Structure 1
Amino acid sequence: MLAGIALVSGCGRDEEESPPAPPVDGQSLAAAVGGDAVAAHMEALERIATDNGGNRAAGTAGYDASVDYVADRLRDAGFEVSTPEFDVDRFIAGPVELRAGDRQFTAGTLEYSPATPPEGITARTLALPDDGSPGCEATDYDGLDAAGAIVVVRRGVCPFSAKEQTAADRGAVAIVVVNNEDGPLAGGTLGEDTDPRIPAVSVPGSEGSAVAAAPELSLKLEAVTEAARSRNVIAQTTTGSTENVVLVGAHLDSVEKGPGINDNGSGSAAVLETALRLGSAPNVTNAVRFAWWGAEELGLVGSERYAEGLDEGEREDIALYLNFDMLGSRNAGYFTLDGDDSDQDGAGPGPQGSDAIERTLGGYLAWRGIVADGTDFDGRSDYGPFIEMGIPSGGVDSGADERKSEEQALKWGGTAGETFDPGYHSPEDTLANVDRAALAQNASAVAFGVGTYANSIDGPDGVPARADRAKAREGAGQ
C-alpha cells in the first residue's frame, strides 16, 4: 500500500524514526488496488442511486450524494478537495413519434434536440449514401438537395452534433440517425453547447432501411431544457512536480435511466481506490491530480468547463491525461485508446505522446496475459477537451454498446454478437451485471498507469517534457 505500508511497518517506533515511503512505481500501486475494494465503492454508489430515484444524473440529489461520497473519502485520506460548480442545461424529452404513412418507427430523441412545432414536421426523405464519413462533412451532400428534407444518415465516425450541424447547414428540417446495431441507440446526445438547430432523433438499425426507403416522413417530438448546477471533484497530491501533472479522470454522473454502476461507477471507483492507495503525499516525481467529472452524459460538460478554465501555463503544466470510462462491462472487451491510429481507421491519432500511453497501458495488460484492441478517440468521453488542446491522452475500457466479434470472443471469452455492455444506459447497469474479473484487470491497469507516470514521464513510453510541450502542441495545430 505504498506510503501506508511504510507507516504500518513502523508501528512501535517513534513516528520521526519511520523510514520514508518508497518511491511509487506502477507495479506496486497496481498490486495495491484490488477489485473487491473497487467494487465496494461501486456498491456504495448503487445504494446512493437506489435512495435517490434510481439514478445519479447531473443536477439530481443522487449526483450530489455521489460527489459527497467521493469527496469525504478523499478528505479522510488527507487530500485537499475542491468541488467547483458549473452551470448545465438539463434536457427533458417528451413524447416522440416518427411515421411513414401508417407505419410508426421506434424513434428516440437525441439529447438537446430542438422540439418540432406542435403539429410536427412532414417532409420528403433524403437518405445519405453510406460512405466513409456519413453526414459528417459538407461534401457528403454534394449533388444532393437537402433543403426542406428530413435527412436519414447512419451513425458513426463523427459526433451526432456534427451530423446535425452539417444537415442544418444544407437546409434540412430534421435528421434521423440510424444506429449501427440492430437495437435502439442508447443515450445519444448532441451535446449541451452545440446550439442544435433542427430536430434530431435516432432509430434502431433494424428499422433503418425502411426509414431510408420511405418517400416521406412525419416527425413530432416534445422537449424542454432547464437550467441546473453540477460539480466536479478535484484532488491533487501535495508532492511531486506541479509542472508535470499527471491528470487522471473519470465521469461520476449516470444517465437518468439507471444507476450507472458500470458507466461510470466503475471508472470513478477505480480512480478513487487508486487515489486512496497512492495517498495524498506519496513519494512521487510528478504530482497527480485526480478528477471526477460531472455532466459527462450531457455532453462532457464538466471536463469541458474545467479545460476552458485553464490558462496557458496551467495547460502546459499538465503532462498527460488518463481517462477511465466503463471498466467492468458484462460481456467485457479490453480496449486501449488508440493513440497512434495503428488501425488506420476512423479517428486519427491522439496528440504527441498518446502513442506512448497506449503502449504503457497495453503493455501492462499484455503482461497480465490480455491482448487489448485499440479504440478510437471518437469524442464519446472526457478525453475530448484535453486532446483538443493537444494534451497526450490515453485510457482503458471494457466496451459499451458495440457488439463483440467472433475474433474478440475467441480472444477474451464472452458472447460473440452480443453488445459488450447489455445494460448500457439502462436500469440494468448495476453491480450484479458487472464482470468482476474485467473490473479487477482494468482497475489494476488504472493504478499501473498512474504509478508509472507519477514516477516518470521520460523514456521511450514517456510524453513531451514541459519545455517541449508548447512546441509539440503548436505543431499539432493546438
Structure 2
Amino acid sequence: MTATPRKRFFRLRPLAALALGAALLPLGVNGPAHAADADGMPADVLARKMADEVTGPGAWRHLQAINNATLDNGGTRVSGTPGYDASAAYITRELTKAGYQVKKQEFEFLDYDILSEQGSVVAPEARTLHPTIARFSVSTPDGGLTADLAQPSGKSTGCSVDDYAGTDVKGKIVLVDVGTDCFITQKQLVLSELGASAMLMNVNSPNPDLNLRYRMVPPTDARIPTGTLSRAESEALRADAAEGPVSLRLDLRGNNKMTKTYNLLADTPTGRADNTVVMGAHLDTVDTTAGANDNGAAAAMVLETALKLAPHRSHVKNRVRFAWWSAEEKGLSGSQFYVDQLTPEQRRQTALYLNLEMIGSPNFARQVYNGQTATGPAPAGSEQISALVNGYFADRHLPTVPLVLDGRSDHSPFIAAGIPAGGVNAGADTVKSQEWADLFGGTAGQMLDPCYHQACDTLANVNKTIFDQNGRSMAWAVGRFAVDTSDINGAAASQQ
C-alpha cells in the first residue's frame, strides 16, 4: 500500500513490445456464445460456491511461494527487480496450468534512484541521525549541507506561512510533523517560499523507531531537500532545541529515472467482454521488505480466486479479468497505466473494480471500502458494492467499519475514470482506537499493521483469520458479479 495519498502527475508510456503483440483483446469483443447460456448457475449460488472454495489455507500456499520467490531473488518485489519477476513467473505458471492465457502489460514509469540518505547532529552534541529521503526530493549539494534547526511557531504540521509567524527559517533545516493537514509537498513549498534550506518530517508513529518513505506529488513541485525521521529521533531533536541552538548536517540525494515493468492480466475465457468485472491487487513492494502482508497476501488471494473460478467458467456470464499491478508503491503507476490505456468505450464496458489491499494485517480492522471518496460519492454503483460486501460479513456476524476510497491504493485510477469500485483492506499505518479494539480485538494505540513497510512484514506478520475472511468475501463478490451486475451498472442478468 502506498504511503501517501496520490495525485496524478505524469503519463505512463507503453513499451513497444505491448504495442507489437502483447495487447489485450478489446473489451468490446464478446466471449463464446455459451457464456450467456440462459440456464446457467444463479448469481447467489456461484457466490456461495466461491466463498466456500476460496480459503485462507488454499491461498496460503501461493503466499508461501511468492514469499520464497521474493527471498530467493533479492528480498523485495520492487518493480523492475528479479524478486518481482520471479513472483510474477510463479503466478503465470499457476494460471497457465488452470487454462488462463496470461498477458504482460508492459510500461515504463518515472522512478527515483536513492544515492544518499545520511544525517547527523553537529551541535550541541554530535550523534548520528537516520533520515529517509522522500522520493523525487531535491538533493542536497554533494557532501551535504549544514544548518541550524528550526520549527513551526504555530501548528506543528507546518502547512501554511502562518505556522511560521515570528520564526526565522531562512537557511535553516525545519522539523515538522507529517500529520494529515496537507500533502508533504505543500509543506516544503511553504518552506521554500520562506527560504528554508531543507525539511525533515517527524513520522510520529506509535512505534518510536519506525520511519517511512514519502514522495513529492507532483515531482515538479519539489523545491528543497526533504526527508523523514522516526518519532524517537524527532523528539530527541526537539528536546535539544528546547535547551538551545541545534546544528544539523544532511546529505540527501537522489536522481529521477525511468523504470520498465509490467502488470499481469488474465481473463476468463467465457462471459460478456462488454461487461467486464476486474479484480486486482498489487504485487510489488517497497525496498525495505519482502511484503508478505503488503501486498503478497492479496496477490496470493487473487490468484486462488482465479484458480477456483476456472472450473465454473461455463457459468460465468460477465468476463472476469484478474490483475496483478506493478509499481503501486511508485504512485499507483501500474493501475493508472491500465486505466489510461482504456478507450472511453472500454471504460464504459468495465462493470466494476474489486481491490484487495493488505488483507492480512495482524492488528486488523475489518474495513470495507464505503463508496465514498475524500470529496464526495464515488462513481454510481460503488456504494452498492460496499453494501453487498458488508451484507456478506453481516450474514456471518462479522462486524465491519467503513474505509474511504482514498488515493492510497489501486482503486483510485478506476474511481477517477468513473468506474465503480470497492473492496477490503485490513489496515496499514492507521492507529487502532479502543473502540476498534473492542470490536475486533487486538491492541489499541498500535498501527493496524505494525510492520507496515518494514523488514518484519514476513509470513509471521499475516493474520490468517482475517486473511481467510477477507479472501472469502471477495471470492463471494466475484462469483456474484460474474453472473449479475444489474444492481451496480444496470446490466441485467437476463441480458447476459
If the TM-score is normalised by the length of the shorter chain, which range does it land in? 0.7 to 0.9
Tell me the distance in 2 between the aligned counterparts of 1:424 and 1:67: 22
Which stretch of the first structure deviates more once superposed, 200-209 or 320-329?
200-209
Q: Does 1:387 align with 2:415?
A: yes
Q: Are the equivalent residues in 1 in contact too, given 2:47–2:478 (CA < 8 A)? A: yes
CA RMSD of aligned residues (A): 3.2
Q: Are the equivalent residues in 1 in contact too, given 2:116–2:251 (CA < 8 A)? A: no
Q: Does 1:332 align with 2:364?
A: yes
Query: Secondary structure of 1:94's match?
Result: strand
Q: Does 1:412 align with 2:440?
A: yes
Task: Name the aligned partner's letter for residue 78 of structure 1.
Answer: G
Q: Are the equivalent residues in 2 in contact too, given 1:157–1:378 (CA < 8 A)? A: no
Pick one of 320, 331, 344 that aligns with 2:352: 320
Matches within 5 A, 1:382-461: 382-459=410-487
Shift of 1:455: 2.2
Superposed CA deviations along residues 345-370 of structure 1, whole A, max 9, x for unmatched, are: x6644333222222122221222222
Q: Does 1:54 align with 2:59?
A: no
Matches within 5 A, 1:88-103: 88=109, 89-97=111-119, 99=121, 101-102=123-124
Pick one of 82, 96, 99 that aligns with 1:78: 99
Shift of 1:66: 0.9
Q: Are the equivalent residues in 2 in contact too, given 1:334–1:373 (CA < 8 A)? A: yes
Aligned to 1:198: 224
Q: Are the equivalent residues in 2 in contact too, given 1:181–1:206 (CA < 8 A)? A: no
Q: Are the equivalent residues in 1 in contact too, given 2:369–2:405 (CA < 8 A)? A: yes
Tell me the distance in 2 between the aligned counterparts of 1:414 and 1:160: 31
Pick one of 38, 41, 53 that aligns with 1:22: 41
Tell me the distance in 1 between the aligned counterparts of 2:297 and 2:331: 19
Superposed CA deviations along residues 127-170 of structure 1, whole A, max 9, x for unmatched, are: 27449xx5668998899987766552433255544555565577
Aligned to 1:293: 325
Aligned to 1:263: 294
Q: Are the equivalent residues in 1 in contact too, given 2:152–2:164 (CA < 8 A)? A: no
Which stretch of the first structure deviates more once superposed, 161-170 or 83-92?
161-170
Q: Are the equivalent residues in 1 in contact too, given 2:153–2:166 (CA < 8 A)? A: no
Task: Name the aligned partner's letter for residue 107 of structure 1.
Answer: P
TM-score, normalising length: structure 2: 0.79
Matches within 5 A, 1:14-413: 22-24=41-43, 25-88=46-109, 89-97=111-119, 99=121, 101-102=123-124, 105-118=129-142, 119-120=144-145, 122=147, 125-127=150-152, 129-130=154-155, 150-151=173-174, 152-156=176-180, 159-161=183-185, 163-164=187-188, 168=192, 173-182=197-206, 183-184=208-209, 186-190=211-215, 194-195=219-220, 196-208=222-234, 214=241, 218=248, 219-279=250-310, 281-340=313-372, 348-413=376-441
Tell me the distance in 1 between the aligned counterparts of 2:448 and 2:149: 36
Relative to 1, partners in 2 of residues 1:160 and 1:386: Cα closer, same or farther, differing over 3 Å? farther
Task: Name the aligned partner's letter for residue 244 of structure 1.
Answer: N
Tell me the distance in 1 between the aligned counterparts of 2:463 and 2:113: 31
Q: Are the equivalent residues in 2 in contact too, given 1:55–1:62 (CA < 8 A)? A: yes
Aligned to 1:13: none
Superposed CA deviations along residues 66-93 of structure 1, whole A, max 9, x for unmatched, are: 1111112112211121112222325335
Which stretch of the first structure deviates more once superposed, 318-327 or 81-90?
81-90
Tell me the distance in 2 between the aligned counterparts of 1:447 and 1:417: 32
Q: Are the equivalent residues in 2 in contact too, given 1:192–1:298 (CA < 8 A)? A: no
- Which blocks of at least 5 consecutive residues in structure 2 are unaligned? 1-37
Task: Name the aligned partner's letter for residue 140 of structure 2.
Answer: T
Which stretch of the first structure deviates more once superposed, 399-408 or 57-66?
399-408
Query: Secondary structure of 2:321's match?
Result: strand
Tell me the distance in 2 between the aligned counterparts of 1:351 and 1:135: 34
Q: Are the equivalent residues in 2 in contact too, given 1:267–1:326 (CA < 8 A)? A: yes
Task: Name the aligned partner's letter for residue 53 of structure 2.
Answer: A
Query: Secondary structure of 1:127's match?
Result: coil
Tell me the distance in 1 between the aligned counterparts of 2:172 and 2:439: 45
Task: Name the aligned partner's letter for residue 37 of structure 1.
Answer: G
Which stretch of the first structure deviates more once superposed, 71-80 or 235-244?
235-244
Shift of 1:391: 1.9
Q: Are the equivalent residues in 1 in contact too, given 2:411–2:421 (CA < 8 A)? A: yes
Which stretch of the first structure deviates more once superposed, 189-198 or 396-405?
189-198
Tell me the distance in 2 between the aligned counterparts of 1:159 and 1:465: 39
Relative to 1, partners in 2 of residues 1:50 and 1:185: Cα closer, same or farther, differing over 3 Å? same
TM-score, normalising length: structure 1: 0.82
Relative to 1, partners in 2 of residues 1:306 and 1:186: Cα closer, same or farther, differing over 3 Å? farther
Relative to 1, partners in 2 of residues 1:98 and 1:202: Cα closer, same or farther, differing over 3 Å? farther
Query: Secondary structure of 2:200's match?
Result: strand
Query: Secondary structure of 1:83's match?
Result: strand
- Fraction of identical pairs, as percent: 37
Tell me the distance in 1 between the aligned counterparts of 2:418 and 2:71: 39
Q: Are the equivalent residues in 2 in contact too, given 1:338–1:375 (CA < 8 A)? A: yes
Tell me the distance in 2 between the aligned counterparts of 1:166 and 1:323: 35
Task: Name the aligned partner's letter for residue 375 of structure 1.
Answer: L
Q: Are the equivalent residues in 2 in contact too, given 1:81–1:233 (CA < 8 A)? A: yes
Task: Name the aligned partner's letter for residue 113 of structure 2.
Answer: F
Tell me the distance in 2 between the aligned counterparts of 1:323 and 1:76: 24
Q: Are the equivalent residues in 1 in contact too, given 2:148–2:172 (CA < 8 A)? A: yes
Superposed CA deviations along residues 99-141 of structure 1, whole A, max 9, x for unmatched, are: 474365542222332321123253663527449xx56689988
Shift of 1:254: 1.6
Which stretch of the first structure deviates more once superposed, 114-123 or 436-445?
114-123
Q: Are the equivalent residues in 2 in contact too, given 1:245–1:318 (CA < 8 A)? A: yes
Tell me the distance in 2 between the aligned counterparts of 1:252 and 1:397: 15
Q: Are the equivalent residues in 2 in contact too, given 1:237–1:279 (CA < 8 A)? A: yes
Relative to 1, partners in 2 of residues 1:368 and 1:189: Cα closer, same or farther, differing over 3 Å? same
Tell me the distance in 2 between the aligned counterparts of 1:416 and 1:372: 17
Task: Name the aligned partner's letter for residue 227 of structure 2.
Answer: V
